[in-house]
Amino acid sequence: MRKVSLTKAMAVAGIAGCTMMMMVGCGSTSSSGSSDNKSGSAQTEETAKNLSGSVSTNGSTSMEKVIGNLSEQFMQDNSGVKITYDATGSGTGVESASNGTCDIGLASRDLKDDEKNKGLTQTTIALDGIAIIVNKDNPVKDLSVNKIADIYTGKIKNWKDAGGKDAEISAIGREAGSGTRDGFETITDTKDKCVLSQELTSTGAVIEAVKNSPNAIGYASFSDAEGKDGITILTVGGVKCSEDTISDGTYKIQRDFNLITKKDKKLSAQAQAFFDYMTSKDAAAIIEKAGVVPKNK
């Protein structure tokens, strides 16, 4: 688990740095994401001056860059507000929103029925592709969804049976509770069927493991994998993972980035303002800079 000070995180391009966390009561809203509260130039100087206090966010490691960018801008516009981010994974983010140990939970997967029945609600702010990655020296450049499923369920164990060289495949995945894992397994129909060489607890760890293992395959948030040295992002069924193909739905392995709140709890003024900002059209350009597709443009 990492606790990240977002102001410092953005100074190093989204890499977690400081381990601080100010926990405040968790609330919710029934907002669908449309709001008149604006940040940046659209927010009045008087509104920004009046907001103060802390806002705690907790959850998906894949959403680090998005939340980092949004938090940095919001704190610039509202100097009295401090936003913290605890990178614990989607499952913990959902639980933290439920039990009140954060203001806003973060999940890179959709809520399950039992979680909705606990009074939780999700608000989607972005769409993100799940990139299928291999080591840069792997000659394989494209796999179908079915071939990917066969690799992760152990039906295909050698790269020669997937268009590569004669070498045993090392399938790397995320831990139980990860939103990335949930999205990947749901789309590839491999839930509870995967045979993994390694289960890792963050997007960055998966990328690093694939980079350092010539025969590895892994999956990671496109926004984190894009442009990374030492890996290749495969096309899936001939379709490149990109913002355009995620937006138009032609890239099939994708999922939502969600804010998780409780319906029967009211957010603090500063948490509500941050929520409204993240779900507004004003946030779209900043979300795009994080390499994902904004839900509201």
pLDDT digit string (tens) for 109-151?
Answer: 999 999 999 999 999 999 999 999 999 999 999 999 999 999 9
pLDDT at 45: 53
Same topology, domains 2-127+256-294 and 129-254? Answer is: yes
Q: Is the pLDDT of residue 9 over 60?
A: no
State how far the Cα of 84 lies from the Cα of 64, in Å rounded to an integer. Answer: 11
Place of tokens 């977690």: 16
> Residues 164-173: pLDDT tens digits?
999 999 999 9
pLDDT digits (tens, 9 = 90+) for 58-87: 999 999 999 999 999 999 999 999 999 999
Please state the domain extents for the chain: 2-127+256-294, 129-254
Q: Is the pLDDT of residue 174 over 60?
A: yes
**Total-model pTM:** 0.76
- Let me know if domain 129-254 sits in CATH 3.40.190.10: yes
- pLDDT, one tens digit per residue, over 182-223 is 999 999 999 999 999 999 999 999 999 999 999 999 999 998
CATH number for the domain formed by residue range(s) 2-127+256-294: 3.40.190.10
Is the per-residue pLDDT at 287 higher than 70? yes
pLDDT of residue 195: 97
Looking at residue 47, what is its pLDDT?
Answer: 55
